[in-house]
């Protein structure tokens, strides 16, 4: 059930990127899709176990969560944040030159 909700989040972001014409809404849709992908990756990585891989004397035969996907996801979150900031700067530059943020209007104004 949780996988279906995560997949729906990814699809909502994907369709938002395709069908929304406002550039800010495209950036928000990309962020929603990225959040869904990160959530799906975390869900798949936690299938093995839910405990932190800390060795102790009283924990025997416990299924541990793999820490490597967690590190990869932290890196993906940081990279996604930097890409989002870069896209927002690009939109700010476009907004300075164009009176609108609608993609079809910007294309129409900048086509020779």
* Residue from 8, 43, 48, 14 nearest 31 by CA: 14
What confidence score (pLDDT) does residue 111 get?
A: 80
Please give the tally of structural domains in the chain: 1
CATH number at residue 100: 1.10.287.3510
Which domain range does residue 83 map to? Answer: 2-110
Give per-10-residue mean pLDDT for the chain (112 aa): 94 96 94 93 76 68 75 90 95 88 84 78
* Cα–Cα distance for residue pair 112/54, rounded to 1 Å: 63
* Residue from 35, 72, 74, 70 nearest 49 by CA: 70
C-alpha count within 13 angstroms, C-beta hemisphere, residue 31: 15
In this structure, are residues 49 and 64 in contact, taking their beta carbons and an 8 Å threshold? yes
What confidence score (pLDDT) does residue 59 get?
A: 60
* Cα–Cα distance for residue pair 109/95, rounded to 1 Å: 13
In this structure, are residues 21 and 102 in contact, taking their beta carbons and an 8 Å threshold? yes
What confidence score (pLDDT) does residue 110 get?
A: 77
Residues, the chain? 112
In this structure, are residues 53 and 64 in contact, taking their beta carbons and an 8 Å threshold? yes
What confidence score (pLDDT) does residue 49 get?
A: 67
């Amino acid at each position: 059930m949780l996988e279906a909700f995560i997949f729906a989040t990814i699809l909502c972001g994907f369709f938002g990127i395709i069908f929304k014409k406002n550039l800010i809404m495209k950036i928000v849709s990309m962020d929603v899709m990225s959040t869904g992908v990160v959530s799906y990756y975390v869900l798949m990585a936690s299938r093995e176990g839910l405990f932190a891989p800390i060795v102790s004397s009283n924990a025997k035969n416990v299924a541990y969560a793999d820490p490597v996907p967690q590190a990869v996801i932290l890196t993906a979150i940081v990279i996604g944040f930097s890409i989002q900031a870069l896209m927002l700067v690009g939109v700010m530059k476009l907004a300075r030159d164009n009176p609108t943020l609608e993609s079809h209007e910007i294309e129409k104004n900048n086509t020779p």
